[in-house]
């Protein structure tokens, strides 16, 4: 009886769980696409007193969810590292509130930004466990604002540059690989446009004068299909 149990146990131990797409990560190049949600934000630095004599402070009190879509180009480097290029289009906006310290009055405005980004990232993957493989990413990106509209009380520059890092998990399905991923983007460029010759109402210049610097940041949740 004991011999039978040992034989059965040994046979079970030698039986491996069937893996989906066992050679998916060995391709030198592969393509994919991704869709997701994101929030756009700015880190604001204030000057305080404006040219109009008021003391204005600005904030972005809430995050407006936006939509993103892009493509994935992946190059295999070694069993742990991949080089990725993921051009992405982000549709979203930011809601500003300017508050006067003297009167308490508020002024609200929206800035719509549709960014076309060009990230180059390095992906480090852990060992695969059956049909799951966690990973982390890091890299740099450049961005063009395709939704820039002059004449608004605030205007942001049309180009940006920054760094990204994130983490996710590859889930190997029978016909494709699904990867939920959370990514953080931090801009390194001052986006505040101070040359406002486009303003028809020069009194609105006080909102630009109230700020000395604005740098971007985004939180992005994507679903990669490869």
What is the structure's pLDDT at 9? 36
Give the whole-number percent of the chain exceeding pLDDT 90.
57
Q: What total of structural domains would you count in the chain?
A: 1
Cα(101)–Cα(113) distance, rounded to whole angstroms?
A: 28
What is the structure's pLDDT at 16? 53
Residue 20 is assigned to a structural domain of this protein: no
pTM: 0.84
Residue 87 is assigned to a structural domain of this protein: yes
Residue 11 is assigned to a structural domain of this protein: no
Q: Range of 134's domain?
A: 28-225
Residue 15 is assigned to a structural domain of this protein: no
- pLDDT surpasses 50 at 6: no
Residue 146 is assigned to a structural domain of this protein: yes
Contact 177/22 with Cβ under 8 angstroms? no
CATH number, position 210: 2.40.160.20
Cα(86)–Cα(217) distance, rounded to whole angstroms?
A: 18
- pLDDT surpasses 50 at 49: yes
Give 71-96 pLDDT, tens digit per residue: 999 999 999 999 999 999 999 989 88
Q: How confident is the model at residue 57 (pLDDT cuts 50, 70, 90)?
A: confident
Residue 2 is assigned to a structural domain of this protein: no
Residue 14 is assigned to a structural domain of this protein: no
Residue 1 is assigned to a structural domain of this protein: no
């Amino acid at each position: 009886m004991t011999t039978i149990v040992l034989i059965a146990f040994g046979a079970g131990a030698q039986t491996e769980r069937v893996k989906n797409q066992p050679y998916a990560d060995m391709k030198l190049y592969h393509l994919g696409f991704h869709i997701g949600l994101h929030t756009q934000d700015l880190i604001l630095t204030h000057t305080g007193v404006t040219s109009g004599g008021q003391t204005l402070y600005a904030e972005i009190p809430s995050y407006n969810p936006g939509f993103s879509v892009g493509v994935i180009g992946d190059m295999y480097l070694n069993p742990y590292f991949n080089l990725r290029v993921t051009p992405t289009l982000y549709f979203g906006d930011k809601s500003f509130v300017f508050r006067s310290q003297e009167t308490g009055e508020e002024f609200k405005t929206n800035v719509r930004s549709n960014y076309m980004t060009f990230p180059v990232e390095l992906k480090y993957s852990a060992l695969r466990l059956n049909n799951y493989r966690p990973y982390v990413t890091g890299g740099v990106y450049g961005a063009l604002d395709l939704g820039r509209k002059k004449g608004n009380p605030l205007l942001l520059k049309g180009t940006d540059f920054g760094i990204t890092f994130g983490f996710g998990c590859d889930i190997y399905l029978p016909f494709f690989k699904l990867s939920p991923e959370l990514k953080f983007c931090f801009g390194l460029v001052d986006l505040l446009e101070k040359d406002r010759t486009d303003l028809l109402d020069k009194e609105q210049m006080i909102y630009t004068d109230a700020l000395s610097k604005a740098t971007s940041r985004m939180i992005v949740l994507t679903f990669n299909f490869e």
